Copies of this chain bind each other. A is one copy, B any other.
Amino acid sequence: MSGTDHGKDEGWQGPVPTFILVRPQMGENIGAAARAMWNFGLDRMRIVAPRDGWPNPKAVAMASGAGRVLDHVQVSDTTAGALEDLNFVFATTARNRDLTKTVMTPERAMEHARAMISKGQKVGVMFGAERAGLENEDIVQANVLISVPVNPAFASLNLAQCVLLTAYEWRRQVGDVVPEIIDRGLTRYAEKIEVTKLTERLEERLDQIGFFWPEQKRGSMVENIRNMMSRLPLSDSDIRTLHGIFKALAERDPKDYKNGR
């Protein structure tokens, strides 16, 4: 999916959580994480002890289009250093830990994040390195764990995917997104009178060709057609189209219709 519109940059402001990548290895994965974040309007990234140093040209190349995330990145030597000013920190993890710690779904975690951020708290989410994930020494610094409810028989989210799902949940929680736009692109729905006239005209034509047979079923057949027509989300131009179709079909020789069945 792509459909970037640089004219629509406003409206995605406001405080957001900080995402902290702990000891990431490949620059490409840092760049992919930046892209995943910026897809959902998150631009605050911190990095703890990146294996290949910083800045990292491969991260910048991969982040193409989401460079603003890397422009403002803060790099620390230690996890504690990256968390210093934060009020509440989540740690993403898949493995069970022996540590006593509350575990939330991304959904619940981002609900909490929204509540805390709306009160001016600074919230962070830690993500571990590509293979190893977070170490216990990182985990103990978090308030709460986030565990994505993946298939217990196949849990293989990579760094950028884990970032993506968390960022998506953040945006889902705070976003003012209309969940359903019914019939986008429609100029207007037909007025009921237009639907009624189309239906009546159709019934006339069907009567002319002896469609309503046997006679005792006429009532229910008409009712079904009327119900169907009123149920369809027809536009004004659909009405014109259907008038044309019915006319074209009906004005064949009636014998054609009967023979053609």
Contacts of A179 in B (CB 8 A): 104-105, 107-108
Could you tell me the distance between the alpha carbons of A4 and B8 in the complex, rounded to whole angstroms?
41
Q: Is the CB of B100 within 8 A of A1?
A: no
What 0/1 pattern do residues 1 to 12 of A give for CB contact below 8 A with B? 111111011011
Q: Is the CB of B39 within 8 A of A151?
A: yes
Contacts of A35 in B (CB 8 A): 154, 156
- Is A215 on the interface with B (CB-CB < 8 A)? no
Could you tell me the distance between the alpha carbons of A103 and B153 in the complex, rounded to whole angstroms?
33
Report A62 CB to chain B, min CB distance, Å.
11
Report A133 CB to chain B, min CB distance, Å.
6
Contacts of A108 in B (CB 8 A): 179-180
Q: Is the CB of B40 within 8 A of A180?
A: no
Q: Please, which residue of chain B has its CB at the minimum distance from the CB of A111?
A: B179
Could you tell me the distance between the alpha carbons of A93 and B178 in the complex, rounded to whole angstroms?
16
Q: Is the CB of B39 within 8 A of A152?
A: no
Could you tell me the distance between the alpha carbons of A157 and B39 in the complex, rounded to whole angstroms?
7
B8, B9, B94: the one within 8 Å of A1 (CB): B94
Contacts of A27 in B (CB 8 A): none
Report A121 CB to chain B, min CB distance, Å.
17
Contacts of A95 in B (CB 8 A): 2-3
Of A79-87, A169-177, A217-225, A249-257, the one touching chain B: A169-177
Could you tell me the distance between the alpha carbons of A226 and B133 in the complex, rounded to whole angstroms?
38
Q: Is the CB of A6 within 8 A of B133?
A: no
Contacts of A152 in B (CB 8 A): 4-5, 8-9, 11-12
Could you tell me the distance between the alpha carbons of A177 and B102 in the complex, rounded to whole angstroms?
15
Residues in chain A within 8 A of chain B (CB atoms): 1-6, 8-9, 11-12, 35-36, 38-41, 65-66, 92-105, 107-108, 128, 131, 133, 145, 148-157, 161-162, 164-165, 168, 171-172, 175, 177-186, 235
